[in-house]
Structure 1
Amino acid sequence: MRTVLRRILTCGIVIGSLIAAAPAGYAQTTGADCVDRAVPVTVSERRLDLAVPQEVLRRSGFDRFGAKFERQLCAIRTKHAASAFIRAEGDSLWRAAVDRVQGRGPAGGDLTRADDRPLYWARLALTKALRQWKPRFTLPEADRTGLINAMETSSRGQDTVNFPPGLKRVMVSGFDPFQLDGDIRRSNPSGATALALDGVIIKTPTGPAIVQTAMFPVLWGPFEAGTVERTFLSQMPKLTMFTTVSQGRVGRIDIERYNGRWHTGLDNDNLTRATTIPIPSGIPTVTPQPEFVPTTLPYEKILAATTGRFPVFDNTSVTEIPAGATTPVVSPTGPTPGSTARAGGGGSYLSNEIAYRTTLLRDALKLKVPGGHVHTPVLQFAPDNTTAITDPTFEQNRVDIVAQVKKILEAALS
């Protein structure tokens, strides 16, 4: 269904051919001779050299993206050519990840197709190359940052969400793996869900619905710059439903009733926050900014349906500072009048933040569209697996979580 993505993928192939022919904007090169390995990279990009990421890339065939990207990058000799090339390569990576998960084309290795991790680590190989690139032309740091941001958004499907006419429209988001210093092997079932459901048709009693998806980083900076709102803004007035998805608690699924204004914790670059969630200028919002924003997902329908092996909860708990108080407390039944948010039902991390931002945007646009957040179970390895990057238990857990999220969407749309 993603006509736009197919066109861009074709564009990427054409750009590769152009580089081989070395037209204006490109130069012949014999290898990755334009990368300065001494240039500092991000914490996330430094993890790329560890054994597990390299194994994930090798066993999925996604190690091909980094080496090819560096070679082609070295041939570029104008900023205009760089911009076109980088967007096409980002879109190509996103489409390759979606196709791999959904069973199109060769698997590229023995790692199960359903795995979300090849996309994450391959993207970091490309942004690392861009950060260390020594171009043949003057490239101010602001322009380099813009190119890296273009790679981030295009390789996450954020700027190519495209709904065909005549179908109900459902938008779903997922996240990168996180807490990688605790276990570098980690996967994120919400990311796997986004890859598995992109372009999928769901039957409803009133006609078919198409799901379109996008991924988001576990990083504070892009959120504060408005990446969530920019992705959802143009689509939200036309949506039938939306849900953000992330990994939550062990052994359960939560439909988060309230999303809080506070954010805190270490992101994937080991940066921290402990402030209210800022809304970028130019983004529609509600004034004054509310401490809590509720879900409008039909949680009663979802809880009443049989969706899979994991129990599903309507989570109404929040952490707040009650009106007139100074100490945070847990309120199990939701926010009390005049309180100040310290955590939504989904906590105070980026999962709560994406839910807060999208539901606040919904209210700012004065829409009645059902929307909220689904927290999946933690994706666990087999108890005796402490080193291998995959195992049958891990793979079955992923399959079951993805299938249950799809069932939840079906129940909500019924």
Structure 2
Amino acid sequence: MKTIAGLVGLTTLALALSPAVAHAQDANCYDTTVPLTVEEQRLDDTLVTGGPAVGPSLVQLAGFDGRVTDFTAKLCRQVVSKQAQQFVEREGNALWKAAVARAQSTVPTAHDAYDDRPLYWARLQLSAALRQWKPRFTLAPNDRAKLIQQFDWASRGLSDAKFPARAGVRKIAVTGFDPFQLTGVNVRRANPAGAAALQLDGREISTPTGKVVLQAAVLPVLWGGFDEGVVENFYGQALQQKPDAFVTISQGRPGKFDVERWAARWRGGFADNNNVNSYGSVPNAAGWPQPTTEFIETSLPFQKMIDAGTGPFPVNYNLAFCEWVVVGSQQSCRTDTPTPGRIAASGGGGDYLSNESMYRANRLRIGYGATNVLGGHLHTPVLGQPADPAALTDPAFEKQRRDIADQVKALVSVV
């Protein structure tokens, strides 16, 4: 079992939050007074006084620390804007591919291969570097934001979303999510939906009805990222390749999987990973066809998924939804069908970003008239945390994450 206290002796060269501190030879390349996002600031969170921070420790355990060191050094050598754009795209995509390769490795790894957290924290280390970088050329604020988004999206699998050109193979696009609610000892949290996405990306699965190939990405737990169109970007690319199905995946309720019947066009206001709140109807993402329907019903073969006998967790078809009787003050929550003309209040998966991922992906699918493409949402069981509050991992935690991710794989192959 790896504890924070047990990592005190590790070098801090690549684990420090500030690239300028981590790389003294490049001290003039970074301005550590530039504020970081709330997410990036959590790179400093520790569990034991005097011990190293949780996120960078996980990066080191997975062997991604050298990648962080290399990125922050090479970023200082970018001399023109076009070169920088190519660099961040290439490095983001390389980080994603390294995370997928590690997750799917058939060779035993020093740290649990199913752990999704190293990718999350490495991404934040590199986005923090981009935010505090002092380039040798003039970089407008909007240009920096574009570079950060370009890197972020590439490191989530959006630059690696091409299905192989093969006939007679079913194609399924799936997304998971980053860890979230990372406060206090919860900074250790993982997300089994993100772990499943890493297990599924690029996989070819043999089923009784033929082969299935998958393309996956990991979505941010950020309202702003959704407003920028990260969901539409991934599933839009998928639609151009004539897929057979979409499956958005997120962490849901304890002890069971839920196939959600309804997605709702509503945000309930819960804070995201940057402590930002958003409340009201789901906005459009610019440039995509988006009908204004309030509820979208799944077209996944839910009964087939239930009857498949995957385990160890039960699989439930969740019929729940809520609609506004009086917007903002009175809801009607039921399990039948929504009332025509009423405003959506929540889907079976609630009114947070998991619900919105299903809504946005399938709103796009409907907007393009791709009614032959199956689409819906799968909520996984809640993943716990290591029992020792000073531990980064333990066998029970790793087993539960592996069991959930492997059952996701089985359920998606049924689709």
Q: TM-score, normalised by structure 2?
A: 0.88
Structure 1 partner of 2:84: 82
Asked if structure 2 preserves the Cα contact closer than 8 Å seen for 1:323 and 1:338, the reply is no
The residue correspondences of 1:48-127 to structure 2 (distance < 5 A) are: 48-50=43-45, 51-103=53-105, 107=109, 110-127=110-127
Structure 2 partner of 1:162: 162
Asked if structure 1 preserves the Cα contact closer than 8 Å seen for 2:96 and 2:154, the reply is yes
CA 1:325–1:170: 2 relative to 1, 3 Å: closer
CA-based RMSD: 1.8
Deviations 1:315-368 (A, max 9, x none): 010121248995113213342333221111000100000100011111111122
CA 1:144–1:341: 2 relative to 1, 3 Å: same
Asked if structure 2 preserves the Cα contact closer than 8 Å seen for 1:296 and 1:371, the reply is yes
Which of 329, 354, 374 is the aligned partner of 1:370? 374
Cα deviation, residue 385, structure 1: 2.8
Q: Which has the higher relative contact order, 1 or 2, with Cα contacts under 8 A spaced 6 or more apart?
A: 2
Asked if structure 1 preserves the Cα contact closer than 8 Å seen for 2:188 and 2:385, the reply is no
Structure 2 residue 131 is the aligned partner of structure 1 residue 131: yes
Shifted more, 219-228 versus 318-327: the winner is: 318-327
Question: CA–CA distance in 1 between the matches of 2:43 and 2:135?
Answer: 23
Structure 2 partner of 1:31: 26
Which of 285, 290, 293 is the aligned partner of 2:290? 285
Asked if structure 2 preserves the Cα contact closer than 8 Å seen for 1:202 and 1:410, the reply is yes
Cα deviation, residue 153, structure 1: 0.7
Asked if structure 2 preserves the Cα contact closer than 8 Å seen for 1:241 and 1:371, the reply is yes
Structure 2 residue 279 is the aligned partner of structure 1 residue 274: yes
Cα deviation, residue 76, structure 1: 1.2
Asked if structure 2 preserves the Cα contact closer than 8 Å seen for 1:100 and 1:106, the reply is no
CA 1:128–1:319: 2 relative to 1, 3 Å: same
Asked if structure 2 preserves the Cα contact closer than 8 Å seen for 1:101 and 1:195, the reply is yes
Cα deviation, residue 171, structure 1: 0.7
Structure 2 residue 257 is the aligned partner of structure 1 residue 258: no
Structure 1 partner of 2:217: 214
CA 1:297–1:86: 2 relative to 1, 3 Å: same
Identity %: 45
Question: CA–CA distance in 2 between the matches of 1:68 and 1:106?
Answer: 25
4+ aligned runs moved over 3 Å, structure 1: 29-33, 104-107, 322-326
SS of residue in 1 equivalent to 2:152: helix
Asked if structure 2 preserves the Cα contact closer than 8 Å seen for 1:32 and 1:74, the reply is no
Question: CA–CA distance in 2 between the matches of 1:323 and 1:265?
Answer: 20
Cα deviation, residue 30, structure 1: 4.3
Structure 2 partner of 1:393: 396
Cα deviation, residue 68, structure 1: 1.6
Which of 331, 338, 342 is the aligned partner of 2:341? 338
Question: CA–CA distance in 1 between the matches of 2:299 and 2:273?
Answer: 30
SS of residue in 1 equivalent to 2:388: coil
Question: CA–CA distance in 1 between the matches of 2:253 and 2:108?
Answer: 34
SS of residue in 2 equivalent to 1:390: coil
CA 1:105–1:39: 2 relative to 1, 3 Å: farther
Asked if structure 1 preserves the Cα contact closer than 8 Å seen for 2:323 and 2:331, the reply is yes
Asked if structure 2 preserves the Cα contact closer than 8 Å seen for 1:262 and 1:341, the reply is yes
Asked if structure 2 preserves the Cα contact closer than 8 Å seen for 1:246 and 1:374, the reply is yes
SS of residue in 2 equivalent to 1:122: helix
What is the letter of the counterpart of residue 217 of structure 1? P
What is the letter of the counterpart of residue 58 of structure 1? Q
Cα deviation, residue 60, structure 1: 1.5
Structure 2 residue 188 is the aligned partner of structure 1 residue 173: no
CA 1:400–1:174: 2 relative to 1, 3 Å: same
Cα deviation, residue 58, structure 1: 2.0
Q: TM-score, normalised by structure 1?
A: 0.88
What is the letter of the counterpart of residue 259 of structure 1? A
What is the letter of the counterpart of residue 128 of structure 2? K
Question: CA–CA distance in 1 between the matches of 2:229 and 2:356?
Answer: 12
- Structure 2: any 5+ residue segments left out of the alignment? 1-23, 46-52
SS of residue in 2 equivalent to 1:184: helix
Question: CA–CA distance in 1 between the matches of 2:155 and 2:253?
Answer: 28
Q: Aligned residue pairs: how many?
A: 379
Structure 2 partner of 1:316: 319
